[in-house]
Amino acid sequence: MDLDYFASRRFTVRNVAAGNEQQEQYWSGEEGAHWIHGRDRYDAMLDCFNHYLTDSGAIGSGKRVLDIGCGCGSSTLSAAACAGEGLVRGVDISGSMIDVARLRARGEANAQNVKFTVADAQIYPFEPQSFDVAISRFGVMFFVDPIAAFANIVRALDDDGRVAFLCWQGPLLNEWISVPARAASAITPLPEMHPGPGPFALADPTYLERVARSSGLADVQLAAVAETLTLGATVEEAAEFFRSTNVGRALFSAAGRAASATLEEALILALRPYEDSGGVRLRSSAWLMTGRRSGGE
């Protein structure tokens, strides 16, 4: 499989309203259900990134924090633990995922300083200068118009307000997608994916920096961060997890019943070298983008 396919999913849809509607339908449909069902797995994989956001965003007691693309709320609750007397607001385009986030905040986390809102951060009318920090854990890659979205977020920041966003580097630097996807694509070609930008839409650092600066951010900096992600306790579990993802569902659907067993075997064989006593662990690489709203802008 040509992994450039993933990186190429970076574009602006001409009809922005239609593009936003597609994204809302996508994340409130099967993909949202997948993330809700697998939220414990995703949290176990991705919570290791939370400290980059809280540290780089300098989130301390009293801070007003906006969490973009918060999903089921793990990154929001992490920020809330640091914000103390402050307030953290998590927003996501998926109503079903926000429902889960609200239940978590009221239940297992008992967080009193958290609010969740169903919102498309690209167009939502945030109150100007109402936040000190905006963060996102892999939630900013899917904007139909990223410059407009970033600008809308910047307007919600107070003077000298900070941003700390995480987004994936290219697929070749992320074994969690490249290893199983290469193995699967040897059996069946990658079919058409969901419309709109994908998870690697901001992988190009030059493009990412241009988007950030064009949105009104100053002091933009990119730092490469790497973490090892555990896809499962066994190769069979890791293969099943991949099969449940957007890419995996598309591949198995294209392969059909006849090739499914062969595809499963190929995945297990490819993942076997990454299994150790801690599970099936693969490398990930991301960009940590930081910046600030210049006072007076």
What is the residue-level pLDDT of the chain in tens, covering all 297 positions?
455 545 544 444 445 555 577 788 888 888 899 999 999 999 999 999 999 999 999 999 999 999 999 999 999 999 999 999 999 999 999 999 999 999 999 887 678 999 999 999 999 999 999 999 999 999 999 998 999 999 999 999 999 999 999 999 999 999 999 999 889 888 887 666 555 688 999 999 999 999 999 999 999 999 999 999 999 999 999 999 998 988 888 888 877 777 888 999 999 999 999 999 999 999 999 999 999 998 644
Q: Which two tokens stand for residue 223?
A: 């730092």
The CATH architecture of the domain made up of 4-170+194-230+287-293 is 3-Layer(aba) Sandwich (3.40)
What are the structural domain ranges in the chain?
4-170+194-230+287-293
Query: CA 106, 111, 115, 121 torsion: positive or negative?
Result: negative
* Cβ neighbours for 197, distance < 8 A, ≥ 6 positions apart: 9, 10, 11, 141, 142, 143, 144, 146
Report how far residue 220's alpha carbon sits from residue 237's, in angstroms, rounded to the nearest whole number. 40
The pLDDT score that the predictor gives to residue 98 is 97
CB contact at 8 A, 292 and 218: yes
pLDDT of amino acid 111 = 87
Q: Beta strands of 22-113 (E only): which ranges?
A: 64-68, 87-92
Beta bridge partners of 141: none
Q: Which residues pair with 221 in a beta bridge?
A: 290
The tokens describing 101, both together, are 């986030």
Q: What is the pLDDT of residue 253?
A: 82
The overall pTM is greater than 0.85: yes
CA-based torsion, 102, 165, 7, 118: positive or negative: positive
pLDDT at 107: 87
Of 193, 135, 195, nearest to 165 by C-alpha is 135
